[in-house]
């Protein structure tokens, strides 16, 4: 997975944002509820205690303490409601204490007294044996006759706490689940939204100088991506135009040069035929003729290059054995090598089938071998090999010649490039041989690479796709 | 021998006419397609040299018209384009040969003569140039009675030059004939082979047969001409 991809970052961002919001809301909700439930319970107890004080204690002198227990039981039923109610005099004597609650969850006698005795109404929490927590409120009451009483009302907090606990667990379980759903759903959504981007990327990758007339698919969605593909298409159109112009220029220029060159050549030939001409002048004319021939060659190569650039039709394509082609070519060119006492070894034992234009591919081998021979000193060695490797046909031409300086390596396939003007004594090799190799390889969808160490040699490697059977 | 030249570039036409006249050919010139067709329709020529790119009526169109009327006259096309598809189209339309500009006049002359001689071609099994003897059946080469050992490429080169003694063969022609077009870029391969051939055919003998015509090519002379 690409951690820098937009889809990944988007999902991470909004998942963490939503997780944060959920956490905040959950916390607020939980603690808000906790606070509400607890204060509500406390208010209920206070309310009850005051009622008892205001109604029962106020009538105590009339009804008497003995009737108190019955009245509280009838009116408030603390045992049934699992509450505790205790009435005391100011000196601490208990005048009423409710009985054991119906569920037997606590013993009212164990509920401790407030100590020190508060002067104002207050509430406290006590830990009972068994770890239970009880909330007890205390209300002071002064009867009209001056007697002071305290009313205590309490209940276990367990049901409330249990409810809160339950809620907490539910929240803690739901949150990760929600995050998972959000992340997964978000991933799918983002992927879907970015699908056209992937398509645009793939289509853009397909566009090379050979198919600039092709355009990218435009989804009529009216969104930003449609705009993007439209502008990319307009950019390709502009590039297409520029490329066409430059290709057409080279084609036109080399074409226009042909007629004047023919005239030059013809006139010079005629001049040289003149028997009256002194030998020295004839020699000069022949020297010019050589240059004109060389010019003609450059024009021809440029024209060939412009045709390759324009994506020459593939009508000449056929299935051919690259190994056999390499062997034949090496054999045909061997005399050039022998002339410099260079040994050409050809290692192409197995048939390697590819598809292509035989004449053009032969030119690749010829140009690479010629180049190797040219830049290898006398008594050197040139190796040619053809192998099939992982679905590719690999053609390699290596030599132990003068090599190419590191800084020149990226330029060797450029037109008219020469590592060193003084390197070549052959004035008609204009530095187009390797560009022709590159153009032919590109037209065949092949990749050509060069490695070289100065004074140790160079290696040119062409990678073709094997013919599919 | 009467030749029709249809070529719109006046200077190119001029050179060809002068050269052909020097070789004792009668030459008519048309500078556009219409005029060319008129001449071709009116007279019987032994050979027609036709430029492909012509104002008005194109070379290809004239070629078709001539062929519909006369199947036999040899036609040499001059072209500034050397795309494979064009060549195929030309041959399909009935052209006998083609020459791509820029060309050496020597090459044009050689092709013209080859086309004119097409009927009775020198098919004799033994070619003789001065004291050089080339047996085309056994591929044996002798000079002054002495056998010379040649590699197959050297033999092909020598035999090619010997088919037309005294005539200059351009490097382009030699490469196309002895090797193939893929070797077009490296003309020095011809020089190397000629040098090897010289070592065997000329060096041991006082009279040199192989002649270099700088800027044009090579020829095999019968010795007397130089």
Q: Closest-CA residue in chain A for B100?
A: A258
Query: Mean pLDDT over residues A164-168, rounded?
Result: 92
Residues of A in contact with B100 (CB under 8 A): 258, 300
Q: Name which CATH class applies to B126-220.
A: mainly alpha
Nearest-CA distance from B80 to chain A in Å? 6
Rounded Cα–Cα distance for residues A348 and A370 (Å): 18
Quickly state the pLDDT bin for B99 (edges 50, 70, 90). confident
Range A244-264 average pLDDT: 86
pLDDT at A438: 92
Top-confidence residue, A113 or B11: B11
Decide if A430 contacts A356 (C-beta within 8 A).
no
Least CB–CB distance from B15: residue in A266, A336, A432? A266
Per CATH, which fold does A317-465 belong to? Answer: Heat Shock Protein 90 (3.30.565)
Task: With beta carbons less than 8 A apart as the criterion, state whether A403 and A469 touch.
Answer: no
Model's pTM, two decimal places? 0.63
For testing contact with chain A, the best of B101, B169, B178 (most A CBs within 10 A): B101
Look at strands A122-127 and A343-347 and give their pairing.
unpaired
Q: Is A257 exposed, middle or buried (0-12, 13-18, 19+ CB in 10 A)?
A: buried
Taking alpha carbons only, the member of B47, B81, B176, B23 closest to residue A306 is B81
A271: distance to nearest CA of chain B, Å?
A: 11
C-alpha distances (whole Å) from A270 to each of A242, B28, B111, B159 are 42, 20, 18, 27
> What's the distance, CA A459 to chain centroid?
36
Q: Mean per-residue pLDDT for B99-121?
A: 80
The average pLDDT across B203-213 equals 89
- Report helix, strand or coil for A378: coil
What pLDDT was estimated at residue A261? Answer: 92
Is A336–B103 a contact, with Cβ atoms under 8 angstroms apart? no
Chain A residue numbers touching B183 (CB-CB < 8 A)? 332-333, 366
DSSP code of residue A468: P
CB B90 within 8 A of CB B63: yes
Enumerate the residues of chain B whose CB falls inside 8 A of the CB of residue A312: 83
Peptide bond into B102 cis (omega under 30): yes
Chain B residues in contact with A433 (beta carbon < 8 A): 185
A107/A421: higher pLDDT: A107
Question: Which residues on chain B are in Cβ contact (under 8 Å) with A271?
Answer: none
In this structure, is the dihedral angle defined by the CA atoms of residues A281, A287, A293 and A295, taken in order, positive or negative? Answer: negative
Same fold, B2-116 and B126-220: no
What backbone torsions phi and psi does residue B196 show, to the nearest 5 degrees? -65, -40
What value does the mean pLDDT take over residues A225-235?
A: 88
Residue A8 predicted with pLDDT over 50: yes
Share of chain B above pLDDT 90, in %: 29
Q: What pLDDT sits at residue A312?
A: 67
CA-closest candidate to residue A161, choices A46, A37, A261, A10? A37
Structure tokens at B95: 């052209």
- pLDDT of the residue at B120: 44
pLDDT digits (tens, 9 = 90+) for B134-158: 998 888 999 988 999 998 888 999 9
Beta bridge partners of A387: A394
- Where helices occur in A111-223 by DSSP H, the ranges are 158-206
pLDDT, residue A388, reads 92
CATH architecture of A224-309: Orthogonal Bundle (1.10)
Closest chain B residue to the Cα of A431, Cα to Cα: B185
In this prediction, the answer to ipTM > 0.90 reads no
Q: Name every residue in B having a CB less than 8 A away from some CB of A.
A: 9, 11-12, 15-16, 18-19, 22, 80-85, 100-106, 151, 153, 171, 179-189, 192-193, 195-196, 213-216
- Of A21-30, A428-437, B105-114, B195-204, the least confident: A428-437
| CATH H-level superfamily of A6-163 | PAS domain (3.30.450.20)
Question: In chain A, where are the structural domains located?
Answer: 6-163, 224-309, 317-465
- Mean pLDDT of all residues in chain A? 86
The per-residue pLDDT for A451 is 93
pLDDT of residue A181: 92
- Which one is predicted more confidently, A275 or A343? A343
CA proximity to A433, closest of A364, A356, A362, A357: A364
Identify which of A257, A289, A359 has the shortest CB distance to residue B215. Answer: A289
Res A428 pLDDT > 60 = no
Return the bridge partners of A453, or none: A457
Binning pLDDT at 50, 70 and 90, where does residue A65 land?
Answer: confident
| CB pair distance less than 8 Å for A336 and B18 | no
Q: Could you tell me which CATH class the domain B2-116 is placed in?
A: alpha beta
- Pairing verdict, β A343-347 and A381-389: parallel
Task: Say whether pLDDT at A422 is over 60.
Answer: no
**Beta-carbon count within 10 A of A250 CB:** 18
**Can you give the three-state secondary structure of chain B, one letter per residue?**
CEEEEECCCHHHHHHHHHHHHHCCCEEEEECCHHHHHHHHHHCCCCEEEEECCCCCCCHHHHHHHHHHHCCCCCEEEEECCCCHHHHHHHHHHCCCEEEECCCCHHHHHHHHHHHHCCCCCCCCCEEEECCEEEECCCCEEEECCEEECCCHHHHHHHHHHHCCCCCCEEHHHHHHHHCCHHHCCCCHHHHHHHHHHHHHHCCCCCCCCEEEECCCEEEECCCCCC
Residue B17: which pLDDT band, with cuts at 50, 70 and 90? very high
pLDDT of residue B58: 84
Q: Is the pLDDT of residue A24 over 60?
A: yes
Strand partners, A149: A89, A141
pLDDT score at A421: 56
CB atoms within 10 A of CB B85: 12
A362–B182 C-beta distance less than 8 A: yes
Terminal Cα-to-Cα distance of chain A (whole angstroms): 34
DSSP 8-state assignment for residue A119: S
Q: Which two tokens stand for residue A95?
A: 């005048």
**Mean pLDDT computed over B31-35:** 90
Is A458 exposed, middle or buried (CB count within 10 Å of its CB: 0-12, 13-18, 19+)?
Answer: buried
- Chain A residue numbers touching B151 (CB-CB < 8 A): 335
> pLDDT for A277-330, tens place per residue?
888 888 888 888 888 888 888 888 888 888 787 776 566 788 999 999 999 999
CA distances from A185 to A11, A190, A338 (A): 9, 9, 71
Contact (CB<8Å) A262/B19: no
Residue A272 has pLDDT above 70, yes or no: yes
pLDDT tens readout for residues A80-121: 888 899 988 888 888 888 888 888 888 888 888 887 778 888
Residue ranges covered by each domain of chain B: 2-116, 126-220
What is the residue-averaged pLDDT of chain B?
85
pLDDT value for B225? 44
Q: Which band of pLDDT confidence, cut at 50, 70 and 90, is reported for residue B119?
A: very low
Say if CB B87 and CB B98 are below 8 A apart. Answer: yes
pLDDT by residue (tens digit) across B53-70? Answer: 888 888 888 998 998 887
């Amino acid at each position: 997975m690409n951690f820098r991809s937009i889809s990944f970052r988007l999902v991470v961002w909004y998942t963490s944002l939503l997780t944060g919001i959920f956490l905040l809301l959950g916390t607020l909700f939980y603690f808000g509820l906790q606070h509400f439930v607890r204060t509500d319970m406390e208010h209920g107890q206070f309310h009850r205690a005051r009622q008892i004080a205001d109604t029962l204690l106020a009538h105590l002198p009339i009804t008497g303490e003995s009737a108190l227990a019955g009245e509280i039981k009838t009116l408030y039923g603390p045992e049934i409601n699992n509450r505790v109610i205790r009435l005391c005099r100011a000196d601490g004597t208990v005048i009423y204490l409710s009985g054991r609650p119906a569920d037997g969850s606590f013993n009212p006698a164990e509920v401790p007294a407030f100590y020190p005795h508060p002067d104002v109404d207050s509430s406290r929490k006590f830990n009972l044996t068994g770890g239970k927590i009880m909330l007890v409120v205390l209300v002071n009451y002064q009867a009209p006759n001056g007697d002071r009483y305290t009313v205590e009302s309490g209940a276990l907090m367990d049901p409330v706490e249990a409810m809160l606990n339950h809620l907490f667990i539910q929240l803690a379980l739901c949150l990760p689940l929600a995050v998972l759903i959000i992340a997964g759903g978000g991933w799918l959504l983002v992927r879907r939204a970015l699908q056209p981007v992937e398509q645009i990327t793939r289509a853009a990758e397909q566009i090379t100088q050979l198919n600039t007339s092709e355009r990218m698919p435009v989804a009529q969605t009216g969104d930003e991506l449609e705009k993007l593909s439209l502008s990319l298409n307009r950019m390709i159109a502009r590039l297409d135009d520029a490329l066409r112009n430059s290709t057409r220029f080279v084609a036109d220029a080399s074409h226009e040069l042909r007629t004047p060159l023919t005239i030059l050549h013809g006139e010079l030939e005629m001049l040289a035929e003149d028997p009256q001409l002194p030998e020295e002048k004839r020699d000069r004319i022949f020297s010019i003729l050589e240059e004109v021939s060389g010019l003609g060659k450059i024009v021809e190569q440029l024209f060939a290059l412009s045709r390759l650039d324009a994506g020459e039709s593939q009508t000449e394509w056929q299935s051919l054995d690259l190994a056999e082609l390499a062997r034949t070519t090496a054999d045909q060119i061997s005399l050039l090598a022998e002339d410099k006492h260079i040994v050409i070894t050809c290692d192409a034992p197995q048939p390697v089938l590819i598809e292509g234009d035989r004449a053009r591919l032969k030119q690749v081998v010829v140009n690479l071998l010629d180049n190797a021979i040219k830049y290898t000193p006398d008594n050197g060695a040139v190796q040619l090999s053809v192998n099939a490797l992982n679905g590719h046909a690999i053609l390699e031409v290596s030599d132990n010649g003068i090599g190419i300086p590191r800084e020149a390596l990226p330029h060797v396939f450029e037109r008219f490039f020469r590592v060193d003007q003084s390197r070549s004594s052959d004035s008609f090799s204009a530095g187009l041989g390797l560009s022709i190799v590159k153009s032919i390889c590109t037209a065949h969808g092949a990749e050509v690479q060069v490695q070289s160490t100065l004074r140790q040699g160079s290696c040119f490697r062409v990678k073709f796709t094997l013919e599919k059977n | 021998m009467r030749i029709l030249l249809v070529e719109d570039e006046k200077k190119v036409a001029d050179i060809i006419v002068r050269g052909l006249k020097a070789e004792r050919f009668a030459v008519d010139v048309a500078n556009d397609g219409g005029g060319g067709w008129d001449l071709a329709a009116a007279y019987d020529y032994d050979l027609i040299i036709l430029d492909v790119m012509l104002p008005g009526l194109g070379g290809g169109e004239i070629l078709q018209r001539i062929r519909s009327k006369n199947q036999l006259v040899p036609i040499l096309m001059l072209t500034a384009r050397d795309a494979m598809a064009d060549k195929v189209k030309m041959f399909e339309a009935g052209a006998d040969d083609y020459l791509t500009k820029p060309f050496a006049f020597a090459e044009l002359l050689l092709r013209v003569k080859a086309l004119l001689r097409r009927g009775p071609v020198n098919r004799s099994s033994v070619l003789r140039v001065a004291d050089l003897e080339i047996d085309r059946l056994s591929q044996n080469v002798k000079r002054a009675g002495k056998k010379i050992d040649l590699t197959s490429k050297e033999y092909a080169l020598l035999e090619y030059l010997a088919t037309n003694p005294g005539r200059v063969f351009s490097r382009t022609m030699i490469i196309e004939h002895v090797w193939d077009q893929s070797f077009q870029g490296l003309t020095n391969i011809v020089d190397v082979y000629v040098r090897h051939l010289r070592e065997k055919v000329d060096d041991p003998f006082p009279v040199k047969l192989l002649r270099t015509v700088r800027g044009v090519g090579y020829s095999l002379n019968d010795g007397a001409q130089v």
